Amino acid sequence: MGKRKINDQDIGLTFEANSEQRTSALYTLLGELWGVDQLVLKASKLETLQEMRSEDLSLRILALMRLIEGDPTIDTVPLEEEYADVLDELEDAIANELAHKGLEDKLEQKIAQRMQERHDEFVNEVKMQILKERSGPENAQTLKKLAVLEKKSHSQLARSAMEILRPNKLEDIVGQESAVQALISKITSPFPQHIIVYGPPGVGKTTAARLALERARKYDETPFGAGAPFIEVDGTTLRWDPRDVTNPLLGSVHDPIYQGAKRDLADTGIPEPKLGLVTDAHGGILFIDEIGEMDPLLLNKLLKVLEDKKVEYDSSYYDPDDENVPQYIKKIFAEGAPADFILIGATTRSPQNLSPALRSRCAEVFFEPLTPIDIRIIVVNAAEKLGVEMDAAVPEIIGEYTIEGRKANSLLADAYGLCLYELQQTKTKEKGKVKIESGHIYQVIQNARLTPYVNIKVGGAPETGRVFGLGVHGYVGSVLEIESVAFGAAKPGKGQVRFNETAGSMAKDSVFNAASVIRKLTGKTISDYDIHINVIGGGNIDGPSAGAAIFLAMLSAIEERPILQDVALTGELSIQGMIKPVGGIVEKIYGAKQAGIRTVYVPDKNKTDIPANVKGITVVPIKHVSELIDKVFADK
């Protein structure tokens, strides 16, 4: 088949067909670029809608030129030979617009993506804030620890026996009627006083103070309200920093740099005051046990608070003009923290061992050591609370081994536990059949390695050279057994005197004072005798208070005159034979009563120290040893 020769007419048709396809393609691109509706709308606005729909290619190209340029004034119809150039220019214009459109789309996409990311971050922050507000500082670990603590708090052993046996009303405090009355009267007054409570351990000082406040709340005259607090602290455990970095008693200031205040305060450099126990006790009572063991400087600071009735705080980081400082912190720094309370301090020390400044600000109340009768009452009450039976001898046995109410309760509780153990072992426990025998008490005492508190029991026939003096240690008096023997010296005038090396130098001086009085009264000189004086037990005699007793022991040995064994005496002996006053009269009378003494002789100048309600013992004031001679010798 031969090839046909292409002529000029064929070339023209081909060119026209190509321009037609390119024009249609450009309209299609504009429809995709703008949208068909926007294309028709734009053609209508440019008044070229008729040309765009014309069958004439030149008019359609003219409409295309107006649409792309956006100019309705274009009216030059392109010639056929110009189609290719015009369409090239239109294609370039559309290509540029497509490229611009593509860039815009890409930018919009990135912008939308970034906005979505920011939106997600904002949503996450809001969610975290909501979770934080709902859960606070808690997490899985802290919640687990909280659950463990709550589980432990619901799993408890039975109450301790001491908790059950502790007095729960003032009437249960045995042997301290006078002290409790004095304590209540000072608390319930319209003008309550600061108080120091003296006394041995285990006699009810802390319990009495707590119950006294409960009683005071019921009186109209008292300044204590129904919610008056009772803040208790042990003076031996109070620790503080002289720089006031920490002070649980008086309070301190946490600086934002060194101690670290709360975060919201530390971030703005605001110091945070930490209030102390004295502010917690405002309007009530601050009870400090063992107040005599407090640091002297801390005690002086406490005395300043007692006077000012407030605690002042200071910090170099505090700026009163800082608007970020909370109002309560400004008030504390400007006015101080309130600390208007009544101080009750308990101590086992003697008054002379306490700060004079403290004593001058406080009334003083003395709790007495418990007698065996008191201990027996406490044991009987404790047995009733425990719901047990016991041998009649149990209270008396316990009373021989302690003078502390707390210790008496502890011994009974231990015996109760031992009794229950034995019943469990024998499988004979029956309801209401628990009974504490004397053997249980003795077994507990043996396990605790206790010894009888009173080793000396007086009484019996009169003895020569044996006399009972009186001493005191702390708040407890005791009987001193003094004995003496005398022999004629091997050589007249060469006699020797021996005395305990451990008795003390002042007790030895009493020996020579006694020798002078003996010579003055009888004309006998001790240099004609070998005399041995002994304080049984080798104890140290505190001061010259045993002078009168030493005199009687020596005189009895020299003259071989027996002394009554149910009497005791105390007093310093002068070389004139006068009985001088001594201290600790109340405690010594108590100690004599414990030992079974019937009559106690004390210096006449101490008669105002004799308790008004002494029972079971006779106390006789004396001025001169001659009065003793007439009273204590069995052959008088």
588 as an active site residue: the answer is: yes
351 in Cβ contact with 198 (< 8 Å): yes
Cα 321–chain centre separation: 35
Return d(Cα 87, Cα 26) in angstroms, integer: 9
Max CA pair span of the chain:
186
Cβ neighbors of 353 (< 8 A, separation 6 or more) are 292
> Which residue out of 410, 545, 556, 580 is catalytically annotated?
545
Return d(Cα 54, Cα 49) in angstroms, integer: 9
> Which residue out of 42, 310, 407, 588 is catalytically annotated?
588
Locus of tokens 């008292």: 222
Locus of tokens 């003083």: 364
Give me the phi and psi of 481, to 5 degrees please.
Answer: -90, 110
Task: Kindly write down the DSSP assignment for every residue of 244-303, as one continuous string.
Answer: SS--TTTEEEE-TTTT---HHHHTTT--EEEE-HHHHTTTSEEEEETGGGS-HHHHHHHH
545 as an active site residue: the answer is: yes
Token pair listed for 305 = 């608070």
3-state secondary structure 490-517: CCCCCCCEEECCCCCHHHHHHHHHHHHH
Adjacent-strand bridge partners of 469: 480, 569
363, burial (CB in 10 Å: exposed 0-12, middle 13-18, buried 19+):
middle
Angle made by CA atoms 425, 427, 428, in degrees to the nearest 5:
115
CA nearest 433: which of 418, 446, 419? 419
Token pair listed for 512 = 């020579």
The pairing of strands 476-488 and 497-499 is unpaired
Q: Report which DSSP code applies to 283.
A: T
Return d(Cα 419, Cα 412) in angstroms, integer: 10
Burial per residue of 538-556, b for 16 or more beta-carbon CB atoms within 10 angstroms, e otherwise: ebebbebbbbbbbbbbbbb
Adjacent-strand bridge partners of 311: 337
Residues composing the chain: 636
Return d(Cα 235, Cα 523) in angstroms, integer: 58
Q: Which residues are tagged catalytic? A: 545, 588
